[in-house]
Amino acid sequence: MSQQALQTLGEFIIEKQDDFKYSTGELSRLISSIRIATKIVNREVNKAGIADIIGKVGTENIQGEEQQKLDVLANDIFIAALSQREVVCGIASEENDDFIEVKCTENAHLSKYVVLIDPLDGSSNIDVNVSVGTIFSIYRRVSDPGSPVELRDFLQKGVNQVAAGYVVYGSSTMIVYTTGNGVNGFTLDPSIGTYYLSHKDIKFPTSGKIYSINEGNYAKFPQGVKDYIKYCQEEEDDRPYTSRYIGSLVSDFHRNMLKGGIYIYPSTSQSPKGKLRLLYEANPMAFLTEQAGGKCSDGFKRIMEIEPTELHQRIPFFCGSAAMVTKAEEFMAKAV
């Protein structure tokens, strides 16, 4: 295929800028900054094996989990790329305890956007060469422009998202994002460092045959989830379904969105709120899911309508093909 015939992400961003009434180009610049950072992170992830930069740095993040060097590096890369370009007034990262106020210049202070980011999700997979990802979520600030950002600028419901997306650093590196007009995916040509539009207007198949859940935790799952797993395994109609779980949210999500499937990270008896974070993982994935025609809930209610109360809040997460999520919710409701 001739590369000249393909649209680059840069061209796509410029073309789509006109979709927004009264657009100032600020969101386009912000997405372009993310694009640049992903290429740098991609380079680091790719060379991780040979560069011997994998290892523990001896610090722990707010959730008390061990950080690996690449998490720290990816976090620094995104924060630098976003704060140096006058495109955001605040950044919250899964790797930082508190949000960051961006005040490097007067202009940046006036920016109307905040970004929430999980710079390197699934990082425990890096040292075994399994795909990892970046997840991001963009909101318009609610406090007055020009004043320092506040916690409430970040604690917004998912329905307020202006844009969200992820990068999968996989056998190919892809960026997939939405600004509320459907979901598009771009694949990186590493030889020239350019993303090309490869997956236009992605839609979740309405149903599917894949279920993704960490079944090692089965004994600790709520009864509704146990019942749904049993349903997935029954020999009836198009079942049993296929079990696929990478343990890297972005990769599991990406596969399910393209092939049809459901991803569940439920509450467990040990972690009643589950594992995934509402602001850094659940909400951006929920926005993408809904934009692709899928469904996303905490097992009972829509993820994007949940009022956040803290930056690192966790939430049970059911996400995927609409018919499959609806079915899982039926089992949850029956078991209450």
Tell me the CB-side half-sphere exposure of residue 137, using CA atoms within 13 A.
30
Indicate the Cα dihedral angle 102, 108, 113, 118, nearest 10°: -40
Beta partners for 68? 56
> What is residue 218's DSSP assignment?
G
Residues in the chain: 336
- CA–CA distance from 112 to each of 10, 137, 153, 197 (Å)? 22, 14, 10, 28
275 lines the binding site for ligand AHM (CB under 6 A): yes
194 lines the binding site for ligand AHM (CB under 6 A): no
Question: What residue 71 binds from ligand AHM, Mg ion, none (CB within 5 to 8 A, per partner kind)?
Answer: none
Quote the least distance from Cβ 265 to ligand AHM, whole Å.
6
Cα 38–Cα 92–Cα 115 angle in degrees, nearest 5: 55
Cα 208–Cα 227–Cα 308 angle in degrees, nearest 5: 75
Q: Which of residues 25, 190, 247, 272 is near ligand AHM by CB under 6 A?
A: 247
Provide CB contacts within 8 A for 22, sequence distance 6+. Answer: none
Residues between 195 and 234 with contacts to ligand AHM, criterion CB under 6 A: 214
Quote the least distance from Cβ 102 to Mg ion, whole Å.
22
121 lines the binding site for Mg ion (CB under 5 A): yes
Give the integer Cα–Cα distance in Å for 258 and 208.
10
124 assigned to a ligand binding site: yes
Give the integer Cα–Cα distance in Å for 323 and 240.
16
252 lines the binding site for Mg ion (CB under 5 A): no
For ligand AHM, what does the binding mask look like between residues 112 and 131, x meaning CB under 6 A? ------x--xxx--------
Residue placing its CB nearer to ligand AHM in the complex, 139 or 280: 280
The SS3 call for residue 152 is helix
65 lines the binding site for ligand AHM (CB under 6 A): yes
CB atoms within 10 A of CB 258: 17
Residue placing its CB nearer to ligand AHM in the complex, 108 or 264: 264
281 assigned to a ligand binding site: yes
Residue placing its CB nearer to ligand AHM in the complex, 97 or 235: 97
Give the integer Cα–Cα distance in Å for 11 and 166.
19
Question: What residue 153 binds from Mg ion, ligand AHM, none (CB within 5 to 8 A, per partner kind)?
Answer: none
Residue placing its CB nearer to ligand AHM in the complex, 108 or 132: 132
94 assigned to a ligand binding site: yes
Residue placing its CB nearer to ligand AHM in the complex, 122 or 320: 122
* Two tokens, residue 166: 């992820």
Quote the least distance from Cβ 319 to ligand AHM, whole Å.
11
Contact set with ligand AHM (CB under 6 A): 65, 118, 121-123, 214, 247-249, 252, 275
Contact set with Mg ion (CB under 5 A): 118, 121
Q: Which residues are annotated as a binding site for substrate?
A: 121-124, 214, 245, 275
